[in-house]
A and B are shown apart, each in its own frame.
Chain A
Amino acid sequence: MAFLEYAAAPESASILNLKAQYGLFIDGEFVDGHGDVFDTISPATEEVIASIAQATAGDVDVAVAAARRAYDRVWSRMSGSDRGKYLFRIARLVQERSRELAVAESLDNGKPIRETRDVDVPLVAAWFFYYAGWADKLEHAGLGPNPRALGVAAQVIPWNFPLLMLAWKIAPALAAGNTVVIKPAETTSLTAMLFAEILQQADLPAGVVNIVTGPGPTGQALVTHADVNKVAFTGSTNVGRMIARQVAGTQKRLTLELGGKAANIVFDDAPMDQAIEGIVNGIFFNQGHVCCAGSRLLVQENVHDEVIDRLKQRLSTLRMGDPLDKNTDIGAINSAAQLERIRTLSDTGENEGAERWTADCRIPDKGFWFAPTIFTKVSAAHAIAREEIFGPVLSVLTFRTPAEAITKANNTPYGLSAGIWTEKGSRMLALVDQLRAGVVWANTFNRFDPASPFGGYKESGYGREGGRHGLAAYLEASGWDAPASLSAASSAPTDGARAARKPAKTRKAVAK
């Protein structure tokens, strides 16, 4: 790539003081797991960073018991203002150790240091700051007076934003008064372990947060554990479905943040410079490993060629390579398995007749890499327009009228996010009304903020994270709001399996 050659500007990894092996974090202590030990590697070099313990079902039992104990004896009895102070402490410690966390995250996940430094870690701190302030204001959460915590929360998070997703899960849970057992993704457990050290520095009471590492079965043992009251999962729709089944018939509350296939809609009057940047940010941010990524670009037909030309030009300036280099825009794909999935789906796109264009990036010798790729001439029936690829692959479709854009945008079982690019405010607002998506970015994309609810419609899951709505996902109301005269003839609801009443008499029984 001859456009501009920059001298390498690598961030030094010497700030890290990693251990060779990490165990589990249970009841305030690092302990050895009882399962096998596995290696976590750097996706950019395939070198081993550290070995990680695999929690067994027995380890999960111990962690849940610790969380229950901490809930009963300490956390549920503590004042909201004291809970808030612990969260403020955590936020400050994250800020203090932000460079270390950013380096560790880039190393472990493969994402560019530019993103971990400027997006992930600052947002992690912001999340704890935001929810810290909620801890003593729960009566304003929208559930009436004296809302109650749910109890022990089982949380399972993905590998695309390891530390950020941990913050999204832990901060609101603790603010609301719950205790937590969280399982990071198998390939990205490292920063969770550094976070555990931060919890020790914050002197958080033992057992309030417990971290169990390991693959899918560890997560399954956690979400199916009989003594958890709340399950929160971020990940694929298929695993979300499985969890929804496992939780069926129990009294566990469930939040699911699942997959997406977002439409990013560009009208001919869009602010084109910003739109091109927004499209790039929408699908190539974090190597496209973003559930709300703008993976389907819907371009108004009359500007299609212009958009594609400018997009290719812009992509030609992206720098792929060492995640720790501060010049790097595109880092490594998180795992060999994910790289394989991206390759397979891209090949399918080509076989189905879409036109493939790939940015001319130098692929490093080692590690998992996939250069930014655009498919044009994509139809709604193509697999690459329907399935979540979770990689730096953009499918481009066209439309002529706003009505067609809406139909195409909504033509998916997913409904997590959408983007709109137009200078016409009234059209943007009318479109927003019609789009079936939980987050709509207008003239921007991929913005996140702890104050802003995030979550999906349809098969992108249920519940919201962030903002007041995200807090409410960890609380239950303690009162009723209808006037007493209306409640008189009604009985109090119960939920879950205990609600099942004796069978009503059938017609035959009555007719006798």
Chain B
Amino acid sequence: MSRLTVPKTYKLYIGGTFPRSESGRTYEVVAADGAFLANAAQASRKDARDAVVAARAAVGGWVGATAYNRGQVIYRIAELLEGRRAQFVDEIQSSEGVTAAEAGAQVDLAIDVWVWYAGWADKYAQVAGNANPVSGPYFNLSVPEPTGVVAAVAPQGVTGGSLLGLVSVLAPIVVSGNTVVVVADERAPLSAISLSEVLATSDVPGGVINMLTGSPAEIMPWLASHADVNALDLTGAGSIDGAKGETWVDLQLAAAETLKRVVAPVAGIPRPALERITAFVETKTVWHTKSML
């Protein structure tokens, strides 16, 4: 007699906790062949705002952590992901309709992306910052700093990319000390929700990464115009088509009101690159007088 399984209730991840959408809405996640997989929470505007509050509250602690510590925490994500590899392979296989080998390769890459970015945590400032030889008796240093709260859209509907796409967006944002509110792949969100469980049990402080499932077209306009969001990562927003026909360009237009930094959409999955880290940092230049000896 076969055992009756215990399906998981898939929820949002906000401020280190797993709430349902305050709206009470869910939407069906289906397999490539149309079979029912799960009901995912359909995040609302209020959920997005709550996530921004959580992300803002987490900025101080995350920026304040040493770079070495942030690298360790991000590497820890890779460790835990590796340990739960089988679960992710299952979820990706069922929701993307790919083979176990293909799903496995995606999980491996996702793990390696975390590892690659983890190593940048205590190095990017050396590469992106420098001492400036100004003409005068001054000490002058430019260092990069995270910009604050970033709202992001993970790649949408990229076969072979529901987890890898999300990780490729998240890792470079948080490695410098930013916090993030990310909207997962709308069609294949299961691995994203499970990644939340990995984050919750890793050492990533609550609120540093906030995961929303649902419609980017519905949620992103609120985040793009939110005055307490510092940057917009539109990596997966190229396919956004809102109810009133809005596109990612409308999100960029909304972001202009508060002069948010904007990363334009990317076709497919973004490759790991230092530029993805520096896209979400500010350069702070400090001058100090030198005394005359």
Contacts and interface: CB of A to CB of B under 8 A. Distances in A.
Contacts of B22: none
B132 A452 contact: yes
A490 B116 contact: no
Nearest to B112: A486
B140 interface: yes
Interface of B: 27-30, 34, 105-106, 109, 112-113, 116, 127-128, 130, 132-136, 138, 140, 142, 147, 156-157, 160-161, 164, 168, 186-187, 230, 238-239, 241, 247-249, 252-253, 255-259, 261-262, 264-275, 282-289
Interface in A247-304: 248-249, 256, 258, 274
B284 to A, nearest CB: 6
Contact of B271 (A455, A468, A493): A493
Interface stretch (A336-344, A356-364, A376-384, A501-509): A501-509
User: Which size bracket describes the interface of A in this complex?
Assistant: 35 or more
Contacts of B247: 500
A118 to B, nearest CB: 13
6 contacts: A440-B284, A440-B285, A444-B289, A480-B271, A490-B268, A507-B30
A481 B161 CA distance: 20
Interface string A396-424: 00000000000000000100000000000
Given A457-B282, A481-B273, A507-B27, A447 B138 contact: yes
A453 interface: yes
Interface of A: 126, 142-143, 237, 240-241, 244-245, 248-249, 256, 258, 274, 413, 425, 428, 432, 437-444, 447, 449, 451-455, 457-459, 461-462, 464, 467-469, 477, 480-483, 485-497, 499-507, 510-512
Nearest to A249: B249
B273 to A, nearest CB: 6
Contact of B285 (A413, A439, A491): A439
Contacts of B262: 248
Contacts of A457: 147, 282, 284
A494 B266 contact: yes
A454 B286 CA distance: 10
Contacts of A468: 130
Given A249-B249, A438-B282, A501 B238 contact: yes
Contacts of B116: 482-483, 486
Nearest to B165: A490
Contacts of B283: 438, 453, 455, 464, 469
Contacts of A455: 283
Contact of A486 (B113, B132, B135): B113
Given A256-B259, A500-B247, A486 B272 contact: yes
A495 B248 CA distance: 12
A503 to B, nearest CB: 5
A488 B116 CA distance: 14
B203 to A, nearest CB: 23
Contacts of A492: 267-268, 271
A428 B287 CA distance: 11
A13 to B, nearest CB: 30
Contacts of A237: 259
A451 B283 CA distance: 14
B230 A458 contact: yes
Contacts of B284: 432, 437-440, 457
Contacts of A274: 289
Contact of A501 (B128, B133, B239, B271): B239
Nearest to A451: B132
